[in-house]
Amino acid sequence: MRIDAISVREIRLRLKTPFETSFGILQKRRILLVEVKSDGATGWGEVTAVEGPFYNSETTDTAWIILRDFIVPLLLGKDVTSATQVPPLLAPVRGHEMAKAAVENAIWDLEAQQKEVPLAALLGGQMEEIACGVSIGINSSIDALVRSVEKELAAGYQRIKIKIKPGNDQEPVRTLRHRFPDIKLMVDANSAYSLSDIAHLRKFDDYDLMMIEQPLAWDDFYQHAQLQAKLQTPICLDESIHNLDHTEAAVAMQSCRVLNIKLGRVGGHTEAQKIENFCRRHGIPVWCGGMLESGIGRAHNIAMSTLPGFVLPGDVSASQRYWDEDIIEPEVEVTKRGTIQAPISPGLGYQVTRRRVDSLTERQETFTANPTVAVM
């Protein structure tokens, strides 16, 4: 596969409802989509960064610059036989995992199309359907929270995650556990607490939570290990894990007992596969995290979630929970069992709705390997 051209574009999508986390409220999504062209075929990837540097250090605009000035020049005109050859080519760029992942994942899509297999199969996925949960933003009213949990359970979702922050944590959890004694329930703090909150965090042990996600600093392992030693509830790391080395450190230090893998955060499918494999061999259950993706990022998440280490329901849910209209066809739907059927057609397995993508595009730049070669 010669990398003939790479297009980067920004689209804007509005979430149906604002999504509040401990680091802020998200509604307007400025999403970068990447198209990689080779031999007349197109692979798609999505930059999962949000607009501000509040989840991780990347933003929509930093990703644009890093793609344009550094990542695209490292790849244009290169010949690769497999998408696994992309990470070494991008190794000179430190960090910026979400920008890198968009391009690498697009090349995975291309490779799967070329080999005429579903992306899931190319990655080594074995599951025909994946287990789905939902992530529910911070709600100012407990009544509204209970209603939305009822709605998601009725739709079939297998587990409920709620976002928490200091001052809005114990009461919603206590209420939900009382109202729904048997559901799979967990919380995500997005780094809102510190080690001085140990006594407070230990109260979560009363609610039979599956896990507490990223309670402490976004770049920490040591303090999480100290906290995990004092908590019965398993800690799940999200923000802290950017690669396999981080995973090995976290497992060796016992900073967590569960891992959430986000394709963007770890730099793409190749690194995600390595983390999944390591966790599977070390008895660490993993699940697929979400970044409020459009259909393209969602399709990549679905393919990754078919790997055998993904034994817990992920934050991968139906298009209709997020958008009035997605940018892929068919839209992602969830069965009554709370699963998503992995697509069986080659590549991503969903059609990108180019007409809709074009109409949502705010800016676009195309880079071609050789200006004298015509590229569609």
- Selected from 6, 216, 292, 299, the binder of ligand OSB by CB under 6 A is 292
- Backbone phi and psi for residue 163, each to the nearest 5 degrees, phi listed first: -80, 140
Q: How far is CA 348 from CA 44, 188, 285, in A?
A: 8, 29, 25
Assess whether 165 carries a catalytic annotation. Answer: no
Touching Mg ion, residues 51-70 (CB under 5 A): none
Is omega for the bond preceding 53 within 30 degrees of 0, making it cis?
Answer: no
Q: Which stretch binds ligand OSB (CB under 6 A): 165-173, 200-208, 273-281, 283-291?
A: 283-291
* Lookup: tokens for 229: 């030693």
Residue nearest Mg ion, Cβ-based: 238
Tell me: does residue 238 bind ligand OSB (CB under 6 A): yes
Locus of tokens 């009382």 = 178
Residue nearest ligand OSB, Cβ-based: 290
Using alpha carbons, select from 193, 130, 19, 288 the residue that is nearest to residue 212: 193
Tell me: does residue 326 bind Mg ion (CB under 5 A): no
Catalytic residue among 37, 100, 161, 163: 163
Element (H, E) at 24: strand 24-38
Tell me: does residue 188 bind Mg ion (CB under 5 A): yes
Tell me: does residue 289 bind ligand OSB (CB under 6 A): yes
- Selected from 139, 190, 228, 273, the binder of ligand OSB by CB under 6 A is 190
- Selected from 112, 210, 263, 291, the binder of ligand OSB by CB under 6 A is 291
Query: Which of ligand OSB, Mg ion, none has residue 35 at its interface (CB below 5 to 8 Å by kind)?
Result: none
Q: Which stretch binds Mg ion (CB under 5 A): 23-31, 179-187, 201-209, 232-240?
A: 232-240
- Residues 6+ away with beta carbon under 8 Å from 82: 111
- Backbone phi and psi for residue 129, each to the nearest 5 degrees, phi listed first: -140, 155
- Selected from 43, 290, 309, 343, the binder of ligand OSB by CB under 6 A is 290
Tell me: does residue 111 bind Mg ion (CB under 5 A): no
Please provide the distance, in angstroms rounded to a whole number, between the alpha carbons at the two ends of the chain. Answer: 16
Burial grade of 64 (CB within 10 A; 0-12, 13-18, 19 or more): buried
For Mg ion, how many residues bind (rule: CB under 5 A)?
3
Length of the chain: 376
Query: Which of ligand OSB, Mg ion, none has residue 315 at its interface (CB below 5 to 8 Å by kind)?
Result: ligand OSB
β-bridge mates for residue 160, sequence order = 134, 185
Assess whether 262 carries a catalytic annotation. Answer: yes
Q: Which is nearer to Mg ion, 107 or 256 (CB)?
A: 256
Using alpha carbons, select from 107, 109, 128, 131 the residue that is nearest to residue 352: 109
Query: Which of ligand OSB, Mg ion, none has residue 4 at its interface (CB below 5 to 8 Å by kind)?
Result: none
β-bridge mates for residue 30, sequence order = 12
Using alpha carbons, select from 346, 345, 340 the residue that is nearest to residue 127: 340
- Selected from 220, 238, 271, 276, the binder of Mg ion by CB under 5 A is 238
Please give the residue ranges that form the binding site for ligand OSB (CB under 6 A): 55, 135, 188, 190, 238, 289-292, 315, 317
Please give the residue ranges that form the binding site for Mg ion (CB under 5 A): 188, 213, 238
Active-site amino acid positions:
163, 262
